Structure formats: structure tokens, C-alpha cells
Amino acid sequence: MTAMPLARAINAGLRRAMERDPKVLLMGEDIGPLGGVFRVTDGLHKDFGSQRVVDTPLAESGIVGTAVGLAMAGYRPVCEIQFDGFIFPGFDQITTQLAKLTYRSQGDLSMPVVIRVPFGGHIGAIEHHSESPESLFAHTPGLRVVAPATAADGYSMIQQAIASPDPVLFFEPKARYWEKGEVDLEAEVDLGATGVTTGLHAARTVRAGTDVTLAGYGPTVKTLLAAADAVAAEGKSVEVIDLRSVSPIDFDAVAASVERTGRLIVAHEASTFFGPGAEIAARITERCFYSLEAPVLRVGGFHTPYPANTHEEEYLPNLDRVLDAVDRAMAY
């Protein structure tokens, strides 16, 4: 096991995928000699060259459109979007072309494209640098949407995403890039016989409990674990689930937990209005109605544009807001 930050773990996963398959190539703004603004691709240009680590113009639509063509030609492009808010110039290419070409061709075309998106707040950035647009892509049929929360998952999930025959939106919690975790660099990553692995979309219970379930993904998992510690000091037992995937969602794992605890709180930095938590709340209410002791509660961003950096801590689902939701759920 090796201790490394999430950013370095994703870098190691990209390296392994490129070593394994010469058809894997990286594309994005400043990802070459600079190594990307967050240095996630650091060293890869030196080792694999400019034909496989491609510095692109500042044109997200062009990046994604080129990736679509490369996928048609048999390559596995991995696109980096520099910041979450910069993905919108490529939104049309992603949702009307990338997501639909396999369906449109009745399966004759596969689109093994990964789009890496640093997302989320807590970095004190300016406008368009801290948004959480995952709901927009989870709502689009034909796209897989995942978000690692740990270095170990960053290492394995990026390889599984690249091996997938379907397009994957790979959301990386930028505020967690330099938090370290244990990674087994020698372990074989399950890539599935045809590149499809259920492991990419399987939720993981990171803390067992009996009184209430907290579910989240990406940047919120650390906040939920802190909430579980605080609640434990008051004698309550909290189960924490790292969803890892936003589309598809591992509803079986969430339902099994709720059947034990009777309560569910879902947290994410995206707006609660039409956010992933809304879909989870609806599905779990349908499946676990007779097990629920309280309504499913959601904690997330407010239904406003992302605020100035001086106000982001009030906008994001912090520890106090999660603890307030736990108190409300336990009051029923």
C-alpha cells in the first residue's frame, strides 16, 4: 500500500491505462508539459509524448467533438475539462452526440470516451470554477456519471471508466485532490470481460451504523464521516454510504441500509432542486416506505447561482447543516 493524494492516484491510474492500451490518449487544455492546472497529468507528456498527451486549444466543444471522432476510429480518448463550469461549451457535443451515438447506431458504434471534470467548491475560486453540474449529465440517457471520494477509488475507477465501452463523466472533487489515502498500486483492477464492470457503480459502506443512513459522493463523503463522528459522541449510530456513482445509482445498497436504519439523509454540493438526492429520495420512498421512520431528507446547495467565494461556506452542505438534518430525522 502506498499513501498518496487523490490527484496522484488518478495520475497513476491514467498511467496504468495508457501502458495497458496504446489506444488510450489524453486531451485537454494545458495538460501536456504543464501537467494540467491541478497537475493531475504531471509527467505523462514526458513519458508518452505529444501524440498521446495532447495540448488542445481553449475550445471544449472542439475537444469533445474530436474525442467523438477518435472513438469512432477505435481510440479511447480521455478529455480533461479544466474546471466544472467550463464544460458548458461542450454540453451539446456531450448530450446530443456522445450520449446518443451508440443508441442511434443500434449498437454498431461504441463511445469509449472519458471526460474528466474537476468539480465542487471549498477552494475559494471565482465564478464558474466551483460548480457541481453532475445532475445535468445524470439526467441524460447514455452517459455514465461517477465521482471518486478517495485516492484508492480515484486509482481504480479511472481505469474502469477508461475500459468502459460507454461514455463516462468522471467528476473529481478538486477540494480533495491533495488529501492522502492508501492505494494498492500492485492490485489488479477489475475491468470486466468486455470493459463493463459493476464495480464502477457499486456503492460502498464506509461506516456501519443503526440509527440513520447518510449517503453522498465525491467531496461530501468526508463531511458525512465528520458528522458521523459528531453524532457518535451523542450516543447515536450513523451509517455512511459513499455512492461513488450518480448514474446509475446503486439503489440496492441504499435500500438495504435504510431497511436497517429507518432513516436516510442524502448530501451533495449540487442544488437540492432536481438534484441527485431528489431521485434517491423518490426511489427509496417507493422501495422502503414501510421501513422509513422519517421522511428522506436532502442537504445540498441552494437553488441559486454559485455564490462569490466569501459566501460559499454558507452555500455548501457543511457539517452543521448535515447535523441539523440528523436532528430533524431523529425527531420523528
Question: Which of these is catalytic: 129, 201, 268, 303?
Answer: 129
Please tell me the predicted confidence (pLDDT) of residue 192: 82
Q: What would you report as the CA-atom Rg of the chain, rounded to the nearest whole angstrom?
A: 19
Catalytic, 128? Answer no
Please tell me the predicted confidence (pLDDT) of residue 194: 72
Q: pTM for this structure? A: 0.96
For cell 457535443, the residue is 93
Degrees to nearest 5, angle at CA 109 with 106 and 115:
120
Tell which residue, 160, 269, 251, 175, has the closest CA to residue 213.
251
pLDDT tens per residue across all 332 residues of the chain: 899 999 999 999 999 999 999 999 999 999 999 999 999 999 999 999 999 999 999 999 999 999 999 999 999 999 999 999 999 999 999 999 999 999 999 999 999 999 999 999 988 888 889 999 999 999 999 999 999 999 999 999 999 999 999 999 999 999 999 999 999 999 889 888 777 777 899 999 999 999 999 999 999 999 999 999 999 999 999 999 999 999 999 999 999 999 999 999 999 999 999 999 999 999 999 999 999 999 999 999 999 999 998 899 899 999 999 999 999 999 98
Could you tell me the domains of the chain?
Answer: 2-200 (3.40.50.970), 204-330 (3.40.50.920)
* DSSP-assigned letters across all residues of 231-271: HHTTT--EEEEE--EEES--HHHHHHHHHHHS-EEEEEEEE
For cell 422519517, the residue is 294
